[in-house]
Structure 1
Amino acid sequence: MRAWQRALMGVLLSGAAGLASFAHAWGNHALLSYRALEAWPEVASAPAVPAEPLDAFLRAQGPAIAALTDAQEAWARAHIRAYTPRPEGLRWAWRPEADEAERRSAFARALRLSPQAAFALFVQVDPRHPERTADGPPLAPEAVASVAPSKGATQRFVAVAPGQPVPVLAVLASASDEPDYGYDIDLFDDNAGGGGLGFGVQPFGNPAIRISSQAPFHMGFFHQGAVFNTLAPAFARSFAQLRVHQYTTLAALAFRTGHAYWGWRFTGLALHYVQDLTQPYHASAAPGERLPGMLWANVLDKLGWPDRKAGLVVLQSNRHFVLENFQTRRLLAAAQAGEDTANERALRDVTRDGSYPAWHDQYLREVVAAEAHAAGPATDAAIVVGAPARYVLDPAFDFGAQEGQIDLDADMRRQLQAQREAMQEAVARLLAHLGAHTRNTVRGVRALADSAPRAQ
C-alpha cells in the first residue's frame, strides 16, 4: 500500500472507530419490530409456537444443520466480496454421541459466532402490550447477553419455559434485538480474548473497544464508490451479509423440519442486520462528509493540525447518537402511553412493501444498504437542522459521554417547530423503509422455506 493510501486509510479508520464505538444502529430493535409487525396478518394471526431449547433443535437436526453450515460457507465464498474463508478446523463434523456442550460449541464455531452466545429462552416485553408478553419470571440481562446493557437501555426480559406457547410476534421482535447481546463480539484476532475463527484482524473500528468489535458485522459500506474502495479496501470487509444468509437459511431449514419456534427465532435474528443497514450511519462511512473533506482532514492532521480530523469523527458520532436517542425514546414513550405517532404509522405502513424487489440473497446489499446510503446526506442535514446545535455542530461536545444527563425531548421542544418537524420527518422516512424491509425479509424466509421439499 502506497503512503497516500495509508494516509487516507488512517482518517477513514479513525472515523469508523468513532462510529463503531456505538455499533447499535437503532437502540432497541424489539420496539421497532413490535410496531412493524403487530398489524401485519402474516405475523399477527400466526398461531403461537411452543418454545424449544436450542439443543433440542441441534439434536434433532444435527446432520442437516452441519451440512447447511457447509453450504452457507460455500455461498459466502462465492458471493461476499473480500470474504475471509472459514478455517477447515471450524467445520462441524456431526457426532451423534456428542453431548449438549459439544453440540452447542460445534454450532457456534461452524457459524463463527461468539462462544458466549446464549440463545436463551426469553421474551423481551413489549411496553405497549406488557400483558401479552410478560407471562414469565423476570430475567436478568446477563442471562441473555454477554455484554453489559448500554446507557439508558430500555430492554426488559422475562424467561420462557420449554414448551410454553409464545406469540410469533414476540419471538420475532425479541430475536431482532438479540445480535446486540454479544453474539458478534471479540471475533477478530486483535480483539482481547478473540481470534481463532479465521476473520483476521478487525478491518475497521477500534479493536481495543469491546463493543466496537461487532461493527464489521452490523455495518456495510457497500456503496462508497470505486475511489473510496480503492483507497480503503478494508472497508469492503463487512460480514452483515454472512449473518443474514446464515440466519435466513437456518430459519428455512427449521420451518421445513417442523421446528417453527426456531424458524421464527432465526428469522428475527436475521432481521437485526437488515434493520441495522436501513440506518444511514451504518451504510455510509460518514454521511455528512464527502471524500475530499476526509482527505483534507487527514492532510491537516499530518501537517500538525488534528482538530478537523478529530472533529469529523466526533460530529458523525454525535449525529448518530442523536438519531438513535431521538427515535428510541419517542417509540418507548408512545408505547408506554398507547399512542400512535408518525413513527408508529410509518413502521406499520405496508403500502411501500411492494415497491421493492422480491427478497433475494443480495437484497441486503443491493436494496437495503443502497437505499440507506442514498438517504445519508439528507438524513445528516435534517439532524443538523433539527437537533440542538451544540449536539450536532460542536466537535468539542461528546454526546455519547453525556447522554445519561441529556433530555433530548425537552431540548427539542425548545427548538423551532419547523426544525423539529424536519428531523421527525427524516426519522419517519427511515422507519418506513425499516418496516417494509422487515416484512419483506419475513416474506423472503417463508418463500425460501417453501421452495424446498419438506422433511417427511
Structure 2
Amino acid sequence: MRHALLILALPLLPTLAFAWGNHSPMCYRAFERMPEVAQAQLVRAEPLVDFLRAQEPAIAQLLDAQEAWALEHLQGHAARPEALRFVPDPARSDADRRAALLRALRLSPDTRLALYLQEDPRQPEPQRPPLSAAAVSAVPNSKGATQRFVALQPGESVAPLAVLASACDEPDYGHDLNLFDDNPGSPAAPSYGFGRQPFGNPAVAIGSQAPFHMGFFHQGAVFNTLAPSFARTFTELRVQQYGGLAVLAWHTGHAYWGWRFAGLALHHVQDLTQPYHASAAPGASLPYMMWVNLKAQLGAPADRQGLVVLQSNRHFVLENFQTLWIMAAARRQQDGPLEQALRDGLLDAHYPPWSPAYVRAVVAAQAHAAGPATDAAVVVGAPAKFVSDPNFDFAANEEQLGPELARDMQGQRDALQQQVATLLGRFGAHSRNALRGLLRQAGP
C-alpha cells in the first residue's frame, strides 16, 4: 500500500514546483502601505561580497547556531556535513568566500544573488537599465514569464519596498535545484547531506526544488505512515536561514541585505499559502488515492494518471489566472479585489505573533484546510476543458492556451476570483507578520 501511494505522488509533484506565478507584483501591494516598509529610509545597494567580508566571523557564528537549532527543532532535518561549515578566512578571495556561503547554506552553486530589481509593474516605464534574466536567474524565463529585471549599481540608493518585493520572487531562480544525491546535476563532493530526493521526480530539474517550497505537514497519520518521506521538507529551514541572515544584516548596518534576505525568507512562507503546496492532492481524498493506486497495480492505471493530470492542470490554471489578474490590474494602475485583499492589514491581527512554529502551525495548516475549497473553486470557475478533462495536459500547452483560457473564463470566474482573493489576503497577512517578527529580532 505504501508503495502504491508513492507511485501516485512521485509524478504528481514536480509540475507543482512553483506556487505563485510571480511573487514580486503581489509583494509591492502587500507591503506598500505597511509603515515599517513604506516609511523606511532608502538603503544603498551593496554587493554580497562586501557584506560577507565585513561580517565573516558573525556569519559563521550565526550559521553554526542555525544548524544546532535545526537539529534540535526541525523534524526530519538533514544534518549539514562538517565539510560545508562556513569557517572565517580573511585570506581567501571574495569568490571563494561567496562560494563558501552557498555551500554552508546548501544552495545551488549557480545561485546568482546579483544586484537587481523587479520594478513595480505599475510604473509605466523602467527607471533603470534592463538586465538579462540569465544575470539574475539560473532558470531560463518561459515565454509567458512576467519577470522583467533592471540593474542596480553598487552604492545606488533604493527603496526598501523595491528590494523586499524583488527578493520575494528570487528563490524560484534556481536556488534549490539539484541539491539531492540522486539529482543528475547535484553538486560535486562533498555531498550537501540532503540524501535522496524525498518526493518528486529526481530526474526533472525544476521538480528537485519542490521539497524546499512545499510542506505536507497536515496530511494525517495514515498518510504519514504510508508515505513517510513526504514529511521530509526543508521550507522551514530556508525561512530560518534567510531570516537569520536578514536580522544579522540589519543589526550590523547592512540594511540592503537585511531587506534582501527578508524577501528570500518570505518567499518560502508565501509558497505555503498556496493550497497545492500544502496538500499532496487537495482535490482527492486519501481513500480515493489509495483506490486508484490499487486499480493501477491491478493493471488499470487510467484513473491514477487522470488524477495526476487534473491536479497539475488545476494548479496551473490557478497560477495562470492569479498572475494575469495581478499584472492586468498593475498595467491599468487600478485596484481590484486581489489588490485590496493583499493590502488588507486588518487580517494581520487574526493570527498569533511570528515564531518559528508559525510556518507549520499557522500558514501550512490554513492552506491545507483550504485545499478542497480551492480545488472546487477552480473546477467551478474555469472551463471544464482545462480542469476536468484528464486527457488534456494544460502544462504542455500553457503558452498557446493562455489567451483562450482568458477568453473562456469571462462570465464564470467569480467563484475562482473570490477564492484567490481569500488566499492572497492570507499571503499578505502572513508576509507582514513574518516581516514584523524579523524586524523585532533585529531591534531598533
Instruction: Tell me, yes or no, if the aligned pair for 1:21 and 1:206 is still in contact at 8 Å.
Output: no
1: distance between equivalents of 2:124 and 2:233?
36
* Aligned residue type for 1:171: V
Please say if 1:192 is aligned against 2:184: yes
Q: 2:7 aligns with which of 1, 10, 19?
A: 10
Shift of 1:68: 0.7
Picking from 236, 255, 263, the partner of 1:241 is: 236
Match of 1:343, SS state, is: helix
Q: Deviations over 1:112-139 (max 9, x none)?
A: 00111111000012110255xx332110
Quote the residue 2:19 is aligned against.
25
Q: Give the match's secondary structure for 2:150.
A: strand
The answer on 1:258 being equivalent to 2:253 is yes
Matched residue, 2:110: 116
Deviation at 1:31, TM superposition (A): 1.1
* Counterpart Cα distance in 2 of 1:130 and 1:50: 24
1:99 matched residue in structure 2? 93
AA in 2 matched with 1:31: P
User: Which amino acid is 1:216 matched to?
Assistant: P
Verify: 1:48 aligned to 2:45, yes or no: no
1:53-452 pair list within 5 angstroms: 53-130=47-124, 134-195=126-187, 196-406=191-401, 407=403, 408-413=405-410, 417=411, 419-450=412-443
Q: Is the 8 A contact 2:124 2:331 kept in 1?
A: no
TM-score of the aligned structures, taking structure 1 as reference length: 0.95
Distance 2:341 2:95 in 1: 43
Q: Which amino acid aligns with 1:403?
A: E
CA contact (8 A) 2:16 2:276 kept: no
Corresponding pairs, count: 439
Q: What is the root-mean-square deviation of aligned Cα atoms in Å?
A: 1.1
Residues of 2 paired with 1:84 and 1:150: CA distance? 32
Deviation at 1:151, TM superposition (A): 4.1
Quick one: which of 26, 32, 47 aligns to 1:38? 32
C-alpha distance in 2, partners of 1:421/1:7?
38
Q: Distance in 2 between matches of 1:307 and 1:202?
A: 26
SS of structure 2 residue aligned to 1:351: helix
Aligned partner of residue 21 in structure 1, secondary structure? helix
CA distance in structure 2 between the partners assigned to 1:84 and 1:378 by the alignment: 34
Task: Write the distance in 2 (CA, Å) between the matches of 1:265 and 1:338.
Answer: 26
Q: Could you list the runs of 5+ residues in structure 1 that have no partner in the other structure?
A: none
CA distance in 2, matches of 1:179, 1:327: 19
What amino acid maps onto 2:94 in structure 1? E
Which string of whole-angstrom CA distances, capped at 9 and with x for unpartnered residues, describes residues 349-380 of structure 1? 00110110000011111110010000000010
Aligned residues with identical type, % of pairs: 62
Aligned partners of 2:374 and 2:209: how far apart in 1? 24
Q: Are residues 90 and 369 of structure 1, via their aligned partners in 2, closer, same or farther at CA, if it must alter by over 3 Å? A: same
Letter in 2 for 1:157: F
Distance 2:429 2:245 in 1: 22
TM-score, with length taken from structure 2: 0.97
CA distance in 1, matches of 2:430, 2:28: 14
In structure 2, give the amino acid aligned to 1:411: D
**1:67 to partner: Cα distance:** 1.0
Amino acid at match of 1:180: D
For the 8 Å contact 2:52–2:59, the answer to whether it is kept is yes
Cα distance between partner residues in 1 of 2:246 and 2:314: 35
- Judge conservation of contact 2:16–2:277 (CA < 8 Å) in 1: no
Letter of the structure 2 residue corresponding to residue 86 of structure 1: R
Distance 1:438 1:151 in 2: 29
